[in-house]
Structure 1
């Protein structure tokens, strides 16, 4: 009988520091390479606008590529998160990792059908189960942003935004960002 390896957080310490991103979802090891330049450019624009808003509002913080250790076999590194000060105080462990869900998670799609499926299906399901309130999937190639919000059935798609739209969120009072500027 064949048994697959079930990866745990401690196993990550055994992997090489070679520029790859290692994540574990439901005990499965997921490996991605360094992202495309445009992927990183989009993240930079979002971190700048969310960072300015966060500094002015003093409601929370925005961070790129934080480690989130939901459980020993659910350990992910989203592209960007926003978390309220109140929640951050409750779920940041002594090692500097989040051990619970931030309010907002943003993933920018990387090229390849496996990467896209991971963000659209596997990670969205995990984030829904763990209590993320809002999930943005940013497609830098199509220049669109899909907004998923929590309801009783999980994280449901409520809008797809394009260049002429404005990005906002009920989580982020008075935050507005031109979608065109995210991709410019």
Structure 2
């Protein structure tokens, strides 16, 4: 088993632990609770530390904004909640919007209609590349990323089987999404207490 650890340059402690697999969902589910977040990206086990308060405020604000705007057949969850995309992939997006029928006993059992990540230094490479790619391949219609350091929100919409950037706003700029619901978002407000 190959283990890679990324360390935070300022703190010098492990930020992300990557275990090359291939691992299955059952093997990931059997990992003891060690206080880390466990995701399975196409057979690769990725473990990351708990997010910061600033990160969680943004997750809360996004979740509340989406909850207020969603139609009744859709539901929003803030992490941690498992999104199971097959035998070798379990993701935990920071915010996920799903059809109510796709909510199972152990997590989300269908493809989400929207996944949102709030970037953290320890996971941003996964969020911007591999996780985005896995959601795109699974057919998730929308993927958004909020970068708290740049106060920037970027949104992609799936078209022709690929994600296409549909919006990029920063600071006090506002963007009105129309999918999966109509909601206006401003990065600076999403990052407020």
Answer yes or no: same fold by TM over 0.5.
yes
Give the aligned partner of residue 42 of structure 1: 58
Equivalent residue for 2:77, pick from 63, 85, 102: 63
1:73 maps onto 2:84 in alignment: no
**Unpaired stretches in structure 2, ≥5 consecutive residues:** 3-19
Distance 2:163 2:109 in 1: 20
Maintained 8 Å contact 2:113/2:141: yes
What RMSD in Å do the two structures reach over aligned CA positions?
1.8
1:159–1:74: structure 2 CA closer, same or farther, 3 Å change rule? same
Q: Would you say how many aligned residue pairs link Structure 1 and Structure 2? A: 173
Match for residue 125 of structure 2 among 110, 117, 124: 117
- Counterpart CA distance in 1 for 2:182 and 2:86 is 34
The match for 2:29 is 13
- The structure with the largest helix share of the pair is 1
Do 2:137 and 2:161's aligned partners in 1 also have CA atoms closer than 8 Å?
A: no
The more displaced of 95-104 and 64-73 is 95-104
Q: 1:173 to 1:64 in 2, by over 3 A?
A: closer
CA displacement, residues 6-27 of structure 1 (integer Å, 9 cap, x when unaligned) = 1111112332212201111111
Contact 1:100 1:130 in 2 (8 A): no
TM-score, normalised to structure 1's length? 0.86
Check if 1:106 corresponds to 2:120: no
> Residue 71 of structure 1 aligns to a residue in which SS?
coil
The gaps in structure 1 that reach 5 residues or longer are none
The list of structure 1 runs, each at least 4 consecutive aligned residues, that deviate by more than 6 angstroms after superposition, is none
Deviations 1:122-178 (A, max 9, x none): 011000001111100111111101111111141122221112222322214432233
**Any idea what SS the aligned residue of 2:85 has?**
strand
8 A contact 1:128–1:154 mirrored in 2: yes
Could you tell me which residue of structure 1 aligns to residue 7 of structure 2?
none
TM-score by length of 2: 0.82
Q: What are the Cα deviations for residues 46-75 of structure 1, in whole angstroms up to 9, with x where unaligned?
A: 111112223xx4342111122111111011
